Chains A and B, each alone.
Chain A
Amino acid sequence: QKEVEQDPGPLSVPEGAIVSLNCTYSNSAFQYFMWYRQYSRKGPELLMYTYSSGNKEDGRFTAQVDKSSKYISLFIRDSQPSDSATYLCAMITGGFKTIFGAGTRLFVKA
């Protein structure tokens, strides 16, 4: 079993839709949870990060962590074609080693 599971997609939605991206994990030692966005042939860029259960909002993005269920989500409201990218969840132990999910490819159609 992988430490971090993420459906690779692809996920295709119409412009304006609410997008839900999810990851599950098995390692209780993960303390920090991140979401990265990666455009084709580019390095990942950090979108959101959190270390506690609950919701964190930043503009159209909401990150949700449920440590009891070992489940994290990223919601994108009013999705735009420019949101089309691969979204990677990532988790960090106390030693700052980052484990990435497989990434979900998202396509937002105009």
Chain B
Amino acid sequence: GAVVSQHPSWVICKSGTSVKIECRSLDFQATTMFWYRQFPKQSLMLMATSNEGSKATYEQGVEKDKFLINHASLTLSTLTVTSAHPEDSSFYICSAGGTAYNEQFFGPGTRLTVL
């Protein structure tokens, strides 16, 4: 499958600061990128779906002004957690999707800890 990278792999920040997470599809042009959040021992919850050059579509309950998503190219999407709070601490995972249903390749995840 395709290789998807995320940077950073982990980050610790102070409450009130903003954190940017990058998701890169290294060998695959992703029509769509997905952002998920996973709390400990829980499943992945889709936060938003983004298509290159378009505004992201957010899932119900996800604040679009808090979780800013930019999908600048077919190989790069960024998630910015603005004014982070301790309850935002989680494992954030992106995936790059192609045109087929089985073409969804996940990144290794970014562990965010907000103090």
A residues in contact (CB < 8 Å) with B: 6, 8, 31-32, 34, 36, 41-46, 49, 51, 88, 92, 96-103, 105
B-side interface size class: 20 to 34
> Would you call B102 and A43 a contact (CB within 8 A)?
no
B109:A42 contact, CB within 8 angstroms: yes
Residues of B with C-beta under 8 A to A96: 32, 97, 101
When the two chains form the complex, which single residue of B42, B43, B102, B107 contacts A49, counting CB atoms closer than 8 Å?
B102
Report chain A residues within 8 Å CB of B1. 45-46
Interfacial residues, chain B to chain A (CB-CB below 8 A): 1, 4, 6, 32, 34, 41-46, 49, 91, 93, 95, 97, 101-102, 104-109, 111
* Extra 4 A-B pairs, beta carbons < 8 Å, given A31-B101, A36-B106, A43-B106: A8-B41, A41-B91, A43-B95, A46-B1
Give CA–CA (A45, B106) in the complex, Å.
7
Minimum C-beta distance from B48 to chain A (A): 11
**A54 → chain B closest CB, angstroms:** 17
